[in-house]
């Protein structure tokens, strides 16, 4: 079935309108249950300076993050000035193509390990992939200007023009082997001039389904060395006296600063107060017969870690559209993609609801598979009891199903399988799921919404 451009545009507008609604709820610290759990990207749009530049005031901060095994890990990151809690990773900067971006970095006094600056002699930000970044203030470092912790109130201002849309990271440019490992990184998205419903010119996506997956890995022993040195009153370079890079052995592998299963908790989950960004990828299935042109979900990979991670979804292939913020001339069907340290990729994820289509909406009754095949772990399953998308059937009483409305779940993970554990306990680590929801429903003529039961 062919759709006219007009139909597609109408669909985009309808989706975009909903995106606004969701953003208003999730961005403002929503009351529990007021909105569907979401992990679509949380944009920090900065503030508009008098000269029109988009401004971010960031400070280097330290604090603690939580691991699913109950451990807490001391970490460093970037946090917006004035934000009470440290956050990990740093805020996701969302910028429109052509804007002048100004980022002011400070490192407040290191008070304790919860609310102060980082106990490093200097720190900085690099914007890999951006061209023509200027850095003023601070002291000259090896790679860029750095904030000098010995100078109270010292700051460095980084400025560049967001010249090319795409997915980028930002990160420390100071003693990177240490500071990036400690967590000094964040995501940076530049939307094309055609609008925020597009990844690049000519690449529209479903704006309610935009995901940024930032990869990172940590050796908690090294973090503990830094924490102890700091608590023992050491400052500056001396904090790293027992930090031995050759001894680095990663134990936690994270997506957006969380390890599985925390990864699939929604944005701003109250149980993860310093790790606000979720990583559950959701896709609305497309019913090719229903007249609604479902746009794909956009998934942005960014590897802020020091190691290369081979990452792939189960269940379907993806369409790779860009690397390091540059679109390919033609999209490439992609499955496992090794995301090297520092690299970014943009991929489109979609699901065609072939079964329901061929079955004319009449699901085929299927016996519930054997219990062995249902249990995900610990008596819990993501299976709905029915293989047809959007359908549920009863499961044995001993099985807890996480299925809300007959949606599908598939793993999406690093296939360096030692990385999908939490300190050797699996499943965990650099693993998320993707959730395929049934196709949108037409609630009134021309108005399409997700299936109510799935919210």
Partner 1 sequence: MAADGGLQLMTMSFTTRTDGPMNTKRQKTRRPRLTALVAAALFASIAVTTANVSSAAAATDKWLCAKGGTASIANPADGGLTNVSVSFTGFVEVPSAADCATAVPRLGDPTPVRLTEGVTYNIHVVNQAGFAINLVGVGLSGAPDLIGIAPGASGAYEVTPVVPGTYMYESDLDPRHSLLGLHGVIVVDPAAGPTSAHGTAVSTYDTEQIIVITEVDVDLNNAVDPFAVDSLAYDPDLFLINGQTNTTNVQVPPLVVDPGERVLLRYINASPANNTMTVVGLRQELVAFDGEIQEGSAVGVGETPLDVSNVFLSAGQTADAMVTVFGSPGQKIPIYNRNLLTSAVGDNGAQLMFLQVNTGGLTAHSKIYFSLNNAVRNMGGVVIRDEDVARWDGTNVTMFFQGSAHGLIDNGANLADIDGVDVDRITGDVWFSLRQDFPRPGGALDPSNPHAAEWVGVAGDVLQENDVFRYDASTGLMSIWLDGSAIGLNDLSNIHDINGLDVDPVTGVTNFTTNGNISPFHNVPLFTGSTTTFGAMNEDVIRWTPDVAAAPSGAGSLSVVADLSDLGLAGENIDAVALTPTDVMFSTTNEYPNPPATPDFDRDDLVACLGHQPPAAGSVTDTCFGPLSVQFDADTLNAGGIAGQVDAYAIG
> Interface residues with partner 1 (CB under 8 A)?
126, 128-133, 142-144, 173-178, 180-181, 237, 240, 243, 245-246, 306-308, 323-326, 328-330, 332, 338, 340-343
Closest approach of Cβ 173 to partner 1, in Å? Answer: 7
Region of 430 on the Ramachandran plot (φ > 0 left; ψ -120 to 50 alpha; else beta): beta
Closest approach of Cβ 145 to partner 1, in Å? Answer: 12
Closest approach of Cβ 129 to partner 1, in Å? Answer: 4
Determine contact, residues 381/395, Cβ cutoff 8 Å: yes
Looking at beta carbons only, is 237 or 442 nearer to partner 1?
Answer: 237
Closest approach of Cβ 414 to partner 1, in Å? Answer: 14
- Look at the block and give the residue holding tokens 């951006």: 130
The Cα–Cα gap between 111 and 352 comes to 53
The Cα–Cα gap between 409 and 411 comes to 7
Q: Is 33 exposed, middle or buried (0-12, 13-18, 19+ CB in 10 A)?
A: exposed
Q: E strands, 100-222, where?
A: 100-106, 122-123, 134-137, 139-140, 145-148, 155-161, 166-171, 185-191, 210-218
Determine contact, residues 438/405, Cβ cutoff 8 Å: yes
Q: Is 363 exposed, middle or buried (0-12, 13-18, 19+ CB in 10 A)?
A: middle
Closest approach of Cβ 219 to partner 1, in Å? Answer: 13
Closest approach of Cβ 314 to partner 1, in Å? Answer: 24
Looking at beta carbons only, is 290 or 324 nearer to partner 1?
Answer: 324
Closest approach of Cβ 175 to partner 1, in Å? Answer: 6
Which residue in 226, 230, 231, 236 sits closest to 151, CA to CA? 236
Looking at beta carbons only, is 177 or 228 nearer to partner 1?
Answer: 177
Q: What is the DSSP letter of 439?
A: P
Looking at beta carbons only, is 158 or 292 nearer to partner 1?
Answer: 158
Looking at beta carbons only, is 330 or 372 nearer to partner 1?
Answer: 330
Looking at beta carbons only, is 128 or 204 nearer to partner 1?
Answer: 128
Per-residue CA distances from 254 to 112, 263, 423, 431, 445 (Å): 25, 8, 12, 8, 43
Element (H, E) at 299: strand 297-303
Closest approach of Cβ 206 to partner 1, in Å? Answer: 24
3-state secondary structure at position 313: strand
Looking at beta carbons only, is 13 or 150 nearer to partner 1?
Answer: 150
Looking at beta carbons only, is 334 or 375 nearer to partner 1?
Answer: 334
């Amino acid at each position: 079935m062919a759709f006219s451009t007009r139909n597609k545009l109408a669909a985009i507008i309808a989706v975009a309108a909903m995106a606004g609604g969701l953003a208003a709820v999730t961005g403002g610290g929503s009351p529990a249950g007021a909105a569907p759990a979401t992990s679509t990207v949380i944009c920090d749009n900065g503030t508009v300076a008098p000269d029109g530049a988009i401004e971010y005031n960031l400070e280097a901060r330290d604090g603690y993050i939580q691991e699913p095994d109950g451990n807490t890990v001391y970490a460093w990151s970037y946090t917006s000035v004035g934000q009470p809690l440290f956050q990990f990773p740093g805020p996701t900067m969302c910028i429109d193509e052509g804007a002048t971006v100004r980022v002011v970095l400070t490192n407040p006094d290191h008070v304790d390990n919860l609310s102060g600056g980082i106990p490093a002699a200097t720190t900085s930000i690099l914007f890999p992939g951006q061209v023509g970044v200027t850095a003023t203030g601070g002291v000259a470092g090896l790679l860029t200007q750095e904030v000098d912790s010995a100078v109270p109130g010292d700051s460095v201002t980084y400025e560049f023009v967001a010249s090319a849309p795409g997915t980028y990271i930002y990160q420390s440019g100071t003693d990177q082997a240490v500071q990036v490992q400690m967590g000094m990184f964040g995501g940076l998205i530049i939307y094309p001039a055609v609008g925020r419903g597009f990844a690049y010119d000519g690449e529209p996506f479903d704006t309610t389904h935009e995901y940024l997956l930032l990869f990172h890995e940590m050796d908690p022993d090294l973090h503990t060395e830094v924490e102890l040195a700091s608590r023992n009153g050491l400052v500056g370079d001396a904090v790293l006296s027992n930090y031995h890079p050759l001894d680095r052995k990663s134990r936690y592998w994270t997506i957006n600063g969380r390890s599985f299963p925390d990864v699939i908790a929604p944005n701003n989950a109250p149980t993860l107060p310093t790790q606000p960004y979720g990583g559950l990828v959701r896709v609305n299935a497309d019913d090719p017969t229903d007249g609604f042109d479902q746009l794909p979900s956009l998934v942005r990979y960014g590897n802020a870690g020091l190691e290369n991670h081979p990452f792939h979804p189960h269940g379907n292939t993806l369409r790779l559209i860009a690397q390091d913020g540059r679109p390919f001339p033609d999209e490439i069907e992609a499955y496992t993609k090794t995301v090297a340290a520092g690299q970014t990729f943009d991929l489109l994820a979609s699901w065609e609801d072939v079964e329901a289509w061929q079955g004319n909406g009449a699901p085929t009754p299927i016996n519930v598979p054997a219990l062995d095949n249902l249990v995900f772990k610990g008596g819990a399953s993501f299976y709905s009891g029915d293989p047809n998308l959007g359908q549920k059937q009863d499961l044995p009483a001993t099985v807890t199903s996480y299925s809300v409305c007959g949606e599908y779940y598939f793993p999406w993970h690093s296939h360096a399988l030692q990385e999908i554990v939490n300190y050797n306990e699996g499943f965990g680590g650099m693993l998320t799921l993707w959730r395929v929801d049934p196709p949108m429903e037409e609630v009134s003529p021309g108005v399409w919404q997700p299936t109510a039961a799935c919210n």
